[in-house]
Amino acid sequence: MSEKESKFRKVNPNLGQQPNIGPFPAEQFIPWLAIAGVSYYLCKVLLQMSWVWTGAIAAWGIATWWVLTGSKPWKFLSKFVRTPYWVRGYGRYRSLVDHSSRRPRQRL
């Protein structure tokens, strides 16, 4: 059996990927429903706020939950990207202006 025959070919490109509901991760869907329900009950039913305030508080709660849990629930604030690792490098200096075509000035 050759090397090409022993490798597997992916038939479905979605295998091994995280499940989504539209652009949102599927594991966030149930907590978001609970946050929206609690926001509705507290803001609209108990405090009789407008729909704008109810939606704003629900969106704030959902955004806070998504930032805290992120795509990796075991990592706190996993939505933020790490700062890049900068190292000192060495490169050859090249001038942007070609000095070899200039003639030296003659002094009088």
pLDDT per residue as tens digits for the range 38-70: 999 999 999 999 999 999 999 999 988 887 876
The mean of the pLDDT values for the chain is 77
C-alpha 75 chain-centroid distance: 14
How sure is the predictor about 26, in pLDDT bands with cuts at 50, 70 and 90?
confident
User: Which residue has better confidence, 103 or 34?
Assistant: 34
Q: What is the pTM of this model?
A: 0.53
**Domain regions of the chain by residue span:** 20-69
Query: What's the average model confidence in pLDDT over 72-98?
Result: 67
Q: Would the pLDDT of 91 be above 60?
A: yes
- Tell me the CA distances in angstroms from 33 to 18, 36, 62, 97, one per residue in order: 20, 5, 9, 62
Better-scored residue on pLDDT, 44 or 14: 44
Higher-confidence residue: 28 or 42?
42
DSSP per residue, 41-80 = IIIIIIS---HHHHHHHHHHHHHHHHHHH-SSTTSTTTTS
Cβ atoms of residues 72 and 78 within 8 Å: yes
